[in-house]
Structure 1
């Protein structure tokens, strides 16, 4: 088998197919695990006629492994760090590149240094709160602490699914509140947004104005905007279809299934993108290049750097945006703050949460969590409106 070329299955990273000496297509599995002494092991079996048969045998082996030879270390001596390594190595190929890097860094820089030495079975909510969450709060902003908690919770839930833990003991962990902190601050008022966009329009390249205007007027994420291709715009229907994300790790699918969406754009964005496409055509022609004549077939990225004539780099845009915000004299905000601004403006104009969630590619639950401060203000407004209505009705219906 060592000399046979293996082809990895697209369904399961531990399943492979190969061709034997008779050119017959067969299947096999290679399962890596830790034995009771904590040593890395591998079990493999070949000769399966179908992928389904190989997968069934692999699942049976995994179940047997959990019940048998690895049970002692998993239930008694397995440390948090050992489990995190096992979880990452087993699942990393199933994750997007960005998720791989994010989770690897969190494991290496925060999780293992703080609680990696603790026994997984002995990790209680109190210990987790004291040695992980409280320590993180000393170094990171609330949103980062919440992210690192969410990532660790994924690993713990995986341990429960694999029957290494009987339950997730971390429910009810006290997390730092976002209220009154960066979630409240990272957005602009309509007046401030107007000042910002007017300044960019007058003093910056049309590429920057078109990009930041699009984000502000649609609420899309920066990576979603950078992932837009010309064919994603329907100038007739006045829509933009969001179907990919582009960041420092390259192009990938959208953040979640909810993120794949088609949204309406207004006349301001529509006309600006038309003007920008004309400008891009001229820019490319000056460098001996051109856009596809048929926009529905044009898979070139929309927003390109006027300097390199290549798609904008995600990291470089942050510095440019920060410079512009400082020049205008506005409160510190980020490109993502334009998304918060869009959502906040919609909420203050009493657009239903469900409609906002669909436009932003979120769930209503996330909207409630992220923009709770705005929703609270809206509740107060609703009470005032109701009181006035009832008060007027009571007055008109009162007996003389």
Structure 2
């Protein structure tokens, strides 16, 4: 009499020659495709362990509570998510996001099975990112988005990144606060613009004057066209910006808030822009370029295309280096404008509207970095009030 060997439990040898057990179990018919479903489980050390696992799955299938273990990796879920994400953001934002994943997140987590990622694993990688880069919280927020996407699609039930601790105790260090502040005082700004007028070409000088006296972003200034300025009403409309897209190409996009804003210009800045407008026509006609069209860029390169944002910083640093001036970035001129507006007595709402901050918190954060003169003025008011 032959022995019945119909048991679904089968033995096999792994690569180390060790005997393990596996089985295949029927899961019913897939409602979507109408095809039979089954799954194979392996890696059991004993036949008894495999029999218990098989019985457990059969019970879950009969009760309708069985959920097949996901085999998706973080990389595979990311590939699905990034396709959808690209449709929802500006090209420049998309490129920046891909960089976060390529340089930090995917090298750390890409090969993990999505359902095996724990809070401890996420915390470990956040700590690694925090030890290497300043934008660890930003990286963590993007890594979390992929797992949020996995929840929506039923791959996992909870997001372990939700419970990652991002607060760290900062050690006390003696810091030269004034050296690190990225803005000029009133006197420093006047000196910088005086030297910029002498050292730079008129186009670069006009650009720095405009940024310093409007507080607009560098990307917004480089996207301006001459039909954005109203010389009669002394106004300029800021409704676009340049961004860096795929293959590092510059392109036009909306402002950071997505909303246009119209701000007033002072007479001196207007006259400087008029002078540059006249010089631009003279200089560019020698290059064979017609600058009379309505959408002519206010500031363009010698090919009448967008100026590279890095060039603006080179111009600024060349002035600072030549005359040994305080190192401030082009974005620091925006902070300078904000600080001096507060020093001049402008309200928080006025500053928020002029600079185009979507969130008043951004305005208040800059307010905390007002110049030393404003801080000294505050204590003088306090003393005058008490002793007056």
1:107 paired residue number = 101
Structure 1 residue 70: Cα displacement: 9.8
Aligned twin of 1:328: 323
Match of 2:297 in 1: 301
**How far apart, in 2, do the equivalents of 1:188 and 1:90 lie?**
42
| Deviation at residue 227 of structure 1 after TM alignment | 0.5
The change in CA–CA distance for 1:146 and 1:169 in structure 2 (over 3 A counts) is closer
Deviation for aligned residue 1:344: 1.9
User: 2 CA distance for matches of 1:377 and 1:174?
Assistant: 33
Structure number with bigger Rg: 2
Q: Structure 1, residues 137-184: CA drift from partner, whole Å, max 9, x if none?
A: 3333x3x3454345445555555666755567158632798x978995
Any idea what SS the aligned residue of 1:302 has?
coil
Bigger shift: residues 321-330 or 221-230: 321-330
Q: Structure 2 CA distance, aligned partners of 1:381 and 1:135?
A: 44
Is the partner of 1:252 in helix, strand or coil?
A: strand
Runs of 5+ unmatched residues, structure 2? 1-37, 40-64
1:169 equivalent in structure 2: 162
TM-score, structure 1 as length reference: 0.66
Aligned with 2:132: secondary structure?
A: coil
Q: 2:234 aligns with which of 238, 243, 246?
A: 238
SS in 2 for 1:169: helix
Deviates more, 1:365-374 or 1:108-117: 365-374
Whether 2:230 is the aligned partner of 1:226: answer no
Shift of 1:93: 3.0
Q: Choose 214-223 or 251-260, whichever is displaced more.
A: 251-260
1:240 is paired with a residue whose SS is strand
Rate the CA distance shift 1:99–1:326 in 2: closer, same or farther, 3 A: same
The Cα shift of 1:222 comes to 0.9
What is residue 285 of structure 1 aligned with on the other side? 285
What is the CA-CA distance between 1:260 and the residue it aligns to?
2.1
The 3 A distance-change label for structure 1 pair 147 and 385 is same
Q: Could you tell me how far 1:253 is from its partner in structure 2?
A: 2.3
Could you say if the C-alpha distance between residues 359 and 390 of structure 1 is closer, same or farther in structure 2, counting changes exceeding 3 Å? same
Aligned to 1:131: 125
Paired residue for 1:195? 191
Is the 2:289–2:304 Cα contact (8 Å) retained in structure 1?
Answer: no
RMSD: 3.8
Conservation of the 8 A alpha-carbon contact between 1:353 and 1:367 = yes
Summarize the Cα distance change of 1:109–1:272 in structure 2 as closer, same or farther, 3 Å threshold: same
Superposed displacement of residue 270, structure 1:
0.8
- 1:237 deviates by 1.2
Tell me the distance in 2 between the aligned counterparts of 1:173 and 1:345.
34
Task: State the partner residue of 1:345.
Answer: 340
Alignment of 1:318 onto 2:313: yes
Distance 1:376 1:195 in 2: 17
Q: Which residue of 1 aligns with 2:9?
A: none
TM-score by length of 2: 0.68
| Alignment-derived partner of residue 93 in structure 1 | 87
Q: Which moved more, 1:159-168 or 1:331-340?
A: 159-168
Quote how far apart the aligned CAs of 1:98 are.
0.7
Given that residues 339 and 366 in structure 2 are in contact (C-alpha distance below 8 angstroms), is that contact kept between their aligned partners in structure 1? Answer: no
After superposition, residues 24-103 of structure 1 pair within 5 angstroms as 72-73=69-70, 78-103=72-97
Q: Find the aligned partners of 1:384 and 1:162 in 2 and give their Cα distance.
A: 60
